[in-house]
Structure 1
Amino acid sequence: MAQNKPTTDEHYIPQCYLKQFSSDGERIYQYDVLSGKQTPVPVPTKSVCYQKHLYEFRDSSGAFAYRNLIEKSFGIYEGEFAKTFRSVISKSRIEANYHTLCFLSPKEKALLVFFLSTMIVRNPDILQTAQETALEFFGDQITEISARNLALQTCLPIYKALDTEERNLLNPVMWFFEDMSFQIGVADSEVFFTSDSPVILFGTNQPVKLDEVIMPISPNIVLFMKPYDNTRRGFYNRLTELRPEDIKYVNKAVVTHCKRWIYSQTPLTDKQIKWITKERASY
């Protein structure tokens, strides 16, 4: 029996997320904010937001070791992420849920926090920074291959049982989201797009503190997170209808924080492209 070929194109933005912005579950439109060009036809989600061998460990000779270990772990988690997205989208269509004080279940909240956290630490720039930090710290005592392996192990310990006491980067990133409230905002039409950097963080650097988190979930649903305030507890974990100014605020955050690519369910109009260009120029 032939063995399955190992995965080589490893995505830093999961397909299970990008597919929420696809009309057919497979393809998506993309717009390049650097060149100002939009693809004339939608492209497969598997063909965007990846790097070859991004999450692979190597031995001292440079050969792959534990091939696809992290990638396979992501595959398991992403199945749960996809279920959570579908659940949130489905529940958001039920009018009675606008009146509940606990819209998201504890499991849904936990999975969304884990998704946000892994999206941050699986970013190629973060992995590269971790590798460079290891090289700088250990100097001649470490090779580039060993530094890369250490960066993967430190940022993405998802291939083993997670230990909250373990010293890694994933744990403190998840702690950033402790004591934050959840709100799911719903637009009355499909107005949101996303990007190659869809988790948008607002906050101060010293000390590290998150003031707000935004992530579009679908073309008409967005997640907001803010520090929890016990005096306003009735406003948290709610499903809310969004105003035009809320929609503009979300899309502005998306276009000003993207690295290069904006992704959408339908082609961007000339009016949208002009607005994107203006917002990025003034940011």
Structure 2
Amino acid sequence: MAPSNPPRDHHYIPQFMLREWAVDAGKLWRYSKPVPNKFAAKRVSTGAIGFEPFLYEVPGETPDKAQQVESRFMSSVDQSAAKAHQILLGNKDWSWTSITRSGWSRFILSLWIRTPASVQAYKAAIASLWGTTAPEIAAKYAELRKPEDPERFEDHMIARDPRIVEKVAMYLLQKSIDHAKVGERINNMKWTTLTLADAPIDFLVSDSPVMSTNGLAGKDAHIVMPVSPRRAFIAFNHDSTFETLQRVRELDFVKHSNKLVVQRARHFVGATRDDQRAFVAKHIGTAPVPTITELIAHKYAEDAAALETAISGS
């Protein structure tokens, strides 16, 4: 049964992640650029960061159905990931089941796809591709079409449901997060964590926390993502890649990670302490990277293999 009060705020960075940085009275530092050339810093609760109202709303549905992407699908993604997160933090034994491992892989994939920029890219891509109906469908429609029906199948669908394009976009958003081949690639990587021992600064978090280098398929491919102020998740394909990362000085590693996380931020950077304010102010949003869905929309159009290709680099 759908909740009687469906969620209004849709979180693209879930609460269980942000709580790791909110260790001081349940608050963390939020850095942002609300308008160009204006930098803002404020201590906020986790509920005031990493969300956008009605981000995944399915238009034209009843309130319960309209919010099901958030209340059911994203909630399921985050619940599974929260269990895996506890393993990565060391709060549970490092013992992965197929469920917890797949749940974490799915979560990583979701962080690439569920952002406000990605949602807008999905909607724009579907709108631009709406006139490219498969020939067999177009032929079948022409065969069944009545004289009073629109000439094109696409126009027929819009006449039946004016919000069909946005609904299809939200459906494909969920299908992309559940992309089996990409999820399997992450599952098959080797996983570990790096815990900071001596570094005087913490890992920062942002709306773009997942750093992927060399795709997912290559020998040197790896993923780095902070999971707490003092710990990062690392996935890699070949032992030599991890050995190279281990040779990096701890402080250099966290500085490099933070620079990427901050440069790629579009909405916020989060921190436990205020000691990196100047660094964040200098770099925030200076090098945003296209989202996976933006790459698909701009380069791969309706290619069914686009998501896997764009992420894995294969």
TM bin, normalised by shorter chain, reads: 0.7 to 0.9
Contact 2:84 2:101 (8 Å CA) reproduced: no
Contact 1:132 1:147 (8 Å CA) reproduced: no
Q: Which amino acid aligns with 2:232?
A: V
Q: Equivalent residue of 1:54, what SS?
A: coil
Name the residue aligned to 2:41. 39
Contact 1:185 1:242 (8 Å CA) reproduced: no
Deviations 1:134-191 (A, max 9, x none): 222223535462111111111114xxxxxxxxxx563154244253221211102661
Name the residue aligned to 2:122. 130
TM-score, normalising length: structure 1: 0.73
Runs in 1 of length 4+ with deviation above 6 angstroms?
207-210, 239-242
Q: How does 1:1-283 map to 2 (within 5 A)?
A: 4-24=4-24, 26-32=26-32, 35=37, 37-40=39-42, 42-59=43-60, 64=63, 66-73=65-72, 74-91=74-91, 103=94, 105-107=96-98, 108-139=100-131, 141=155, 143=158, 145-157=163-175, 168=176, 170-171=178-179, 172-188=181-197, 191-203=202-214, 211-226=221-236, 228-229=237-238, 232=239, 243-269=250-276, 272-273=279-280, 276=283, 280=286
Distance 1:78 1:25 in 2: 23
Distance 2:127 2:77 in 1: 30
Q: Which runs of 5+ in 2 are unaligned?
A: 132-153, 290-314
Distance 2:251 2:278 in 1: 16
Q: Which amino acid aligns with 1:257?
A: R
Deviation at 1:270, TM superposition (A): 5.1
Distance 1:132 1:274 in 2: 31
Structure 1 residues 270 and 153: alpha-carbon distance in aligned structure 2, compared to 1, 3 A threshold: closer
Q: Which amino acid aligns with 1:248?
A: K
State how many pairs are aligned.
252
Contact 1:187 1:242 (8 Å CA) reproduced: no
Give identity over the alignment, percent.
18
Q: Which amino acid aligns with 2:128?
A: E
Q: Equivalent residue of 2:66, what SS?
A: coil
Alpha-carbon RMSD across the aligned residues, in angstroms, is: 3.7
Distance 1:16 1:57 in 2: 25
Deviation at 1:114, TM superposition (A): 1.4
Deviation at 1:263, TM superposition (A): 0.5
Q: Which has the higher strand share?
A: 1
TM-score, normalising length: structure 2: 0.67
Q: Which amino acid aligns with 1:39?
A: A
Q: Which amino acid aligns with 1:183?
A: T
Structure 1 residues 24 and 273: alpha-carbon distance in aligned structure 2, compared to 1, 3 A threshold: closer
Structure (1 or 2) with the larger CA radius of gyration: 2
